Structure 1
Amino acid sequence: MLLSHRKKFLFIHIAKTGGTSVRSALQKYRWRDPYYAPIWLASKLSGMANHELAIKLPRHSKAIAAKEMLPREFYESLFKFAFVRNPWDLQVSSYHHIRRERPQLMRPNESFAEFLYRKFDPDREWQYHLDTSITPQSNYLVDLNGDLIVDFIGHYETLQQDFDHCCKTIGIPRIELPHKRKAGDRLAYREYYTPETQALIEKVFARDIELLGYSF
């Protein structure tokens, strides 16, 4: 999550949706914010206290967290936006990320299908607690009643185009997004799926598919 008092925007960072590139592009506006110093200090204090002081909005906080913590008028005055990704594609990204960055969480030679069935098994003993893609993307964008509380939802598939819209709305020059964490270790996401695993993701992320307008 990235908040700018000066430019009046709140970026909700959903993992594996191009958010690292967006954060990198907008970071300089955070540095120039008059509240940057106290925000930085609060972040450091939170870390020193093992994050038990509740004074920091984590990188992947949901919009509802900001709405509950910020004054109502201030929250409403912000341009609140996020980027989302095709749920089937997102799970392929998750599989490769864990296999590359946290191989100790994978079983030997675990296939993509085995990964999905274990990940979404309601009776699993071990939780994929380090993988935020187990959480529906829509959960980051709604309040406790399920109503949208953000102003704009961009898409990973049209990342630059939608980010251009955000820049225009915020009132900053167009920024060419850097290619942060660009993956080159995978096939097209449809190649990973069988009819059964395709249906599994359709069931688990039905709300995302409906709300965000995605299809396989």
Structure 2
Amino acid sequence: MILSHEKKFICLKTRKVAGTSLEIVLSQLCGPRDILTLFGGRLNIVQEDEAQRLARSGRRAQNYEMPLSGYSLWQRLTGLPRRNPIRLYYEHMPAERLKDLTPPAVWSEYFKFSVIRNPFDFAVSNYHWYRKTGRTEQDFRSFLLGNDWAQTVNSRITEIDGEPVVDFMLRYEHLAEDLVTLSEHLNIDPALWSDFTGVRAKGSLRPKSSTTRDAFKDFPEGVAFVRDTCRTTFERYGYAPDPE
């Protein structure tokens, strides 16, 4: 998640949409007062991603911890802010939580955006992320049908009470053209996005052979499940409700 006072924008970071690569590029626009949250994931990958951000923008994660004034006197006396600082802002922060921490004028005036992905393709990519990070040992069918919350995780990041809060939603499948549109909204040089193709954040956890078509082949109940669970996403962003 990025909250930039420098360029007056808020980037809500959704999952499995090249969000870390996007944040690395966006960090080049940020100033010393802006909030850049820590990258998550396995330690070696986090270190690589932070190194890329530092090399490209000269910035690390910053201003995401609770300020000293937010701790009680007892907490300060016990050294808690130094030993175990509280992360006030974090990577996949829901819009509702961020809004609570943001001055009303900033929330209403800053340009808010995020990234969406075809629900069928997201389901497959998200599953492989859970498998490779050791969070599940289930097969795809069992994971999909048994964890409906996982399919709607991004909606909970970008919506409040079921309504999207973003001013612009980039499409994962059309990032090149949508990044140019975003540059117009942010009034920045569209050439900045040429850097995006050179960023390789987090690495691929999904086997190249694992296609969306194959994952849903002979799996009609899975197709119906995604259609039903993500009905609003299909309607709102124009995705065809078919894994083909």
Question: TM-score normalised by the shorter chain: which range applies?
Answer: 0.7 to 0.9
**What does residue range 101-140 of structure 1 map to in structure 2 within 5 Å?**
101-102=133-134, 105-106=136-137, 110-120=138-148, 133-140=150-157
Contact 1:87 1:201 in 2 (8 A): yes
Question: 3-state DSSP class of the match of 2:115?
Answer: strand
The structure-2 alpha-carbon separation of the partners of 1:192 and 1:24, relative to structure 1 and needing over 3 Å to count, comes to same
Amino acid aligned to 1:73: A
The structure-2 alpha-carbon separation of the partners of 1:195 and 1:69, relative to structure 1 and needing over 3 Å to count, comes to same
Contact 1:83 1:155 in 2 (8 A): yes
1:46-68 Cα distance to aligned partner (Å, 9 max, x none): 9824x4xxx61221112222222
Q: Which residue of 2 aligns with 1:28?
A: 28
TM-score (norm 2): 0.70
Q: Which residue of 2 aligns with 1:98?
A: 130
The CA deviation at 1:74 is: 1.4
The structure-2 alpha-carbon separation of the partners of 1:199 and 1:164, relative to structure 1 and needing over 3 Å to count, comes to same
The CA deviation at 1:38 is: 7.3
Contact 1:81 1:152 in 2 (8 A): yes
Q: Which residue of 1 aligns with 2:6?
A: 6
Contact 2:34 2:62 in 1 (8 A): yes
The CA deviation at 1:86 is: 0.8
CA distance in 2, matches of 1:71, 1:155: 28
The structure-2 alpha-carbon separation of the partners of 1:75 and 1:46, relative to structure 1 and needing over 3 Å to count, comes to farther
Q: Which residue of 1 aligns with 2:232?
A: 207
CA distance in 2, matches of 1:105, 1:192: 17
Q: Which residue of 2 aligns with 1:157?
A: 173
Aligned-residue CA RMSD (Å):
2.7
The CA deviation at 1:167 is: 2.2
Amino acid aligned to 2:110: L
CA distance in 1, matches of 2:67, 2:122: 29
CA distance in 1, matches of 2:84, 2:102: 23
Q: Which residue of 2 aligns with 1:129?
A: none
CA distance in 2, matches of 1:185, 1:43: 42
CA distance in 2, matches of 1:198, 1:100: 23
Unaligned runs of 5+ in 1: 121-131
Q: Which residue of 1 aligns with 2:45?
A: none
Question: 3-state DSSP class of the match of 2:112?
Answer: strand
Contact 2:151 2:229 in 1 (8 A): no
The CA deviation at 1:111 is: 2.7
The structure-2 alpha-carbon separation of the partners of 1:209 and 1:43, relative to structure 1 and needing over 3 Å to count, comes to farther
CA distance in 2, matches of 1:56, 1:83: 23
Q: Which has the higher contact order (CA 8 A, sep 6+)?
A: 1
The structure-2 alpha-carbon separation of the partners of 1:46 and 1:114, relative to structure 1 and needing over 3 Å to count, comes to farther
CA distance in 2, matches of 1:116, 1:58: 26
CA distance in 2, matches of 1:202, 1:7: 37
2:207 to 180, 185, 205: 185
TM-score (norm 1): 0.78
The structure-2 alpha-carbon separation of the partners of 1:138 and 1:35, relative to structure 1 and needing over 3 Å to count, comes to closer
Contact 1:18 1:159 in 2 (8 A): no
